[in-house]
Structure 1
Amino acid sequence: MSLKRSPPFRAEHLGSLLRTQELLDARDGKSTDRDEAQVKAVEDKSIQDIVDIQLAAGFHGVTDGEYRRNLFWGTFFDGLEGFEEVPFDREILRTYMPNVSALLQAGWVPGGSLLCTGKIKHSKSTHLDEFNFLKNHLASKNLPTNEIKLTIPSPASYHQRYKDGKAYAEGVYDSDQAYFADLAKVYQEELKLLYDAGLRNVQIDDPTLSYFCSKEMLKGWDEDSSNKKTAEELFESYITFYNDCFSQVPSDMHIGIHICRGNFTDDRLVSAGGYEKIAVRLFQDLKVDTFYLEFDTERAGGFEPLKHLPKNKNLILGVVSTKTTQPEDVEAMKQRVHAAAKFIAEGNDQTVEEALKRLGVSPQCGFASHSHENRLSRDQMVAKLKLVRQVADEIWTAEP
C-alpha cells in the first residue's frame, strides 16, 4: 500500500460536533405531533451551517457533524438484514468490556440489545443519504467531493461485547469466522456504494481495539472461563476480519481508523493503557491508510509505540481535548507533535522532517459521541477547532 497524501489533511476533526438546541428539540420531538419532514428540514439547515463553520475555520475533510445520528455509530447495523432488537440479557455480555461495565456501573439498563438473529446481508445503506446531502451542499460552493469525510462504525461493534458464540443467535452461524465473512461482505458492499456515489475519504470509528490496551479488560478476559481464545488471538482475528472488510476498496479511496477511548459526558467510557500491547500488529498488519490516535491524556501512554508505524501509513495525533473547556497551549502541542515525530523517525530510519510529512493533528475524539453531549459550548468547540488549525499551520507552514 503506497502512502496516500491527500487525504489525510494536516488539521482534522473526528466526525461528531455539538448540536444546536433547535436541532435537539426537533429530534427529541417536543410534542406528540412530531413532523418528520420538519425534523429533516432542521437537520438539513443545521448541517449546512456546521459545514460552513468547518470551512470558515480552514478545515478539509468536512463532516455533517453526525447530525442525523443519536449516537456516533448511527443506524448502520440496524439497517442490515440479520440484526434485530432483542430483550436485554446481561448474561450473554462480557460485562468486563469497558463500554458495558461503565454503563452497568452507572445504573443504565437498556430496554433491548441489537443482536444477529439471522444471516447477515446488505439491504440498504443508511450512510448514502448522509453523503449525498453533503456532496450537494459542497457542489453548491464549487467544492469537490474529496473535501468530505464520512464516519462509519467499527465492524466489531456488535461482536466484542458478547460472550463467546453469543454475538449471533443459536443456529445462525457455527463460528465467528462465518459471522465475520458475511459481515465483511456487507462492508465491502457499503464501501462500494459510497465509492460509486463519489466518496473518497472514510473514517472507521473503533472503540473496540483500544480495549485490548486495558489491563482491567485483559484481567477480566483471563478470568472468563467461557472464552475459547486468548485476548491476543481475538485481536489478531479482528485484524484479519477488518482487512477483509477493506479488501475491495479502490486505490483512490482513503481508509482511516480512529482508535477511540470513550468520550461520553461523565468520562466513564474509557480505556486506559498505552498502545504498546497492540502497536506492532495494529500499525503493521491493519490495512488502512491513516490512524487517528488519542494522546490528550496519560491514559494513552507515551509515544514510544509509534516506532512501529511503517513508512507507508499516516498518523493523526489527537492532542487537543474535546473534554475540557480550557484551550491547550499551542507551543506545548507543537512540542508534542515533534516528540511523536522523533519516535516515528527512529523506528523508520528517517529524519524528523520526513516523519512529520506523515503526521497531522486533531482533537482526541469527536465533540459529541451522543447527541446531547454538552461539556463545551458551541463557541468553545469552534475555538478548539481553530486551535487545531493553528497548531497545524505553525508546524507545516512550508507544506503545500
Structure 2
Amino acid sequence: MPNTRKLLKPPFRADEVGSLLRPNGLKEARLRRQNGLISKEELRKVENEEITRIVEKQKEIGLQTVTDGELRRAWWHFDFLEGLDGVEGFDTDSGIQFHNQQTKSHAIKVVGKLDFTTHPMIEDFKFLNGIAGSHTAKMTIPSPSMLHLRGTLDTDLYQNEDDLFQDLAQTYKKAIGAFYDAGCRYLQLDDTSWAYFCSDQQLKDMRLRGLDPDRMKKLYAKTINEAVSDRPDDLTITMHICRGNFRSTWISSGGYEPVAETLFGNLNIDGFFLEYDTDRAGGFEPLRFVQRSDLRIVLGLVTSKSGELEAAEEIKRRIDEASQFVPLNQLCLSPQCGFASTEEGNLLTEDQQWAKLRHVVSIADDVWK
C-alpha cells in the first residue's frame, strides 16, 4: 500500500533541519589538515566518503530530502558568510556566549563592497546533488540577517545603512540564483535573529550595542524579501528560526508572538521550521497569523539536543494541538534544529541521531497516512 504522507514538493511531512554530527574519522582528517599533515584534496576525499555514507543513511531512514550534514563546515554561518565578496573572518578575544557554554573565538567583518561572484559551496552542493538520486538535495545557508547580526562593519565603507542592506539583498539574490543554476530546488535560510527578537535578554543586549530592534526587524524582513523576490517557481525556500544550538545548549527564550505577524504574514517564504521542543518556545497561539494556504509550518517537536526519544503519542498530541491554528495538511515534523550547528556537535551519539530521525519519519507516517 503506498505511503500517502509523501509530498511532491518540500518541505516534507518528515523533514530535517540540516546539520549532522561529524564522524570521528572526519574530525581526525580535519585536524590533520590543520596541522599540515594531509592535503586539501585528501581532506576532501574523506569528506566526500563521509557525505556519501550519511546521504545513504538518510535515504535508508525514509527521508525524502538529503543534506550533506554541513560536514565540510566548522560553523553553520561563518563558513558561508566568509565566502561572500567583501567579508572576512577573524579571531576574537571571546566566543559567542550560550547558556553555560561559549564557542571558539571567531567572528566576521565587512571589509569591502558586498557581492557574490563565486563560492566554494556551489561545488559542495553539486556533489550532494550528484549523489541524491531520486531524493531532493537540500542546501542550507545562513539568512542575510546573520551578516548584520554577527558581523562588524567598517563605518567608512557603508556610511548609509540602507546601502549596506541593499547590497546585502543583491548579494543574496545572486547567491540564490547560483545555487539554482547548480541544480538546487530546496534552499533553507537559517536565522537566529527572529528568536532574539522574542527574548527580553537579547533585546536588552541589542540595545546595549546601540541597535534598534524595531528598525532591525523591518530591515531584515525587507532584505529577505528582496533577496528571494526573483526566485523561480520551482525553487522552494524555507527558513529555520533557531534559538541557538551549540553543544546541546541554547541562547534565547520566548514565544513567537513578537515576530509572528511579520514572519507568517510578511515574509515571502514557502515554509518555516520552528523550534518547539521545550516550553522556552511558548505555545502554538502565534500560528494564528498563518493565513496563507500555501505556507507550510514544520514543527520542531523532536529535540536534537539529547538522545532520549520523545513519547510518540505526546508528539502526536502536540501536532493535533498545533492543528487547531494551522490545518494539518499544512503541518510537517522535524527535529527542532540540526545535530551539529558547529563542528563540535551536540551531546548525543550518531546512533541516537539516526534514531531521532527515524522517530520523525515513523511519527509522520502515522499522522499523515
Aligned position for 1:43: 47
Assess, with a 3 A threshold, how the Cα gap between structure 1 residues 115 and 132 changes in structure 2: closer, same or farther: same
1:266 to partner: Cα distance: 5.0
Determine if contact 1:75/1:126 at 8 Å carries over to the other structure: no
Q: Please say if 1:257 is aligned against 2:261.
A: no
Partner of 1:189: 174
Q: Equivalents in 2 of 1:74, 1:27: separation in Å? A: 17
Cα distance in 1, alignment partners of residues 351 and 260 from structure 2 = 36
Matches within 5 A, 1:223-242: 224=208, 226-227=210-211, 229=212, 231-242=213-224
Letter in structure 2 aligned against 1:120: L
Pairing partner for 1:71 from 45, 50, 75: 75
Residue equivalent to 1:214: 199
- In structure 2, list runs of 5 or more residues that go unmatched: 1-6
Letter of the structure 2 residue corresponding to residue 11 of structure 1? A
DSSP 3-state at the match of 2:332 = strand
2:15 equivalent to 1:12: yes
Query: Could you state the TM-score of these two structures normalised by the residue count of structure 1?
Result: 0.85
Point out where structure 1 has 5 or more consecutive residues left out of the alignment: 91-98, 345-354
1:83 touches 1:120 (CA, 8 Å); kept in 2? yes
Count of residue correspondences:
361
Q: CA deviation at 1:170?
A: 2.4
Question: What do the CA deviations read for 1:323-348 (whole angstroms, capped 9, x no partner)?
Answer: 1211011111011001001122xxxx
Q: Render the CA deviation track for 1:84-132: whole Å, top value 9, x for unaligned.
A: 2356488xxxxxxxx84439x756672x531111111213122211111
Secondary structure in 1 aligned to 2:323?
A: helix
Partner of 2:107: 113
- What is the distance in 1 between the residues matched to 2:102 and 2:358? 37
Is 2:134 the counterpart of 1:132?
A: no
Deviations 1:179-226 (A, max 9, x none): 11111111111111111121110011111221000011223345x383
Partners of 1:279 and 1:305 within 8 A in 2: yes
**Runs of at least 4 residues off by over 4 Å:** 105-109
Cα separation, 2, equivalents of 1:79 and 1:225? 26
Contact 2:97 2:103 in 1 (8 A): no
Question: What is residue 172 of structure 1 aligned with on the other side?
Answer: 157
Partner of 1:26: 29
Post-superposition CA distance 1:252-281 (Å, at most 9, x none): 1100000001111151x3210000011011
Superposed displacement of residue 60, structure 1: 1.2
The AA in structure 2 aligned to 1:172 is L
- State the distance in 2 between where 1:395 and 1:385 align: 15
Q: Which residue of 1 aligns with 2:84?
A: 80
**Partners of 1:51 and 1:226 in 2: CA distance:** 44
The 1-side partners of 2:192 and 2:210 are apart by 23
2:201 aligned with 1:205: no
- Summarize deviations over 1:218-238 as a string: whole Å, max 9, x none: 23345x3834x3x12211221
Matches within 5 A, 1:262-301: 262-267=244-249, 269-301=250-282
Across the aligned residues of Structure 1 and Structure 2, the Cα RMSD in angstroms comes to 2.1
1:394 paired residue number = 366
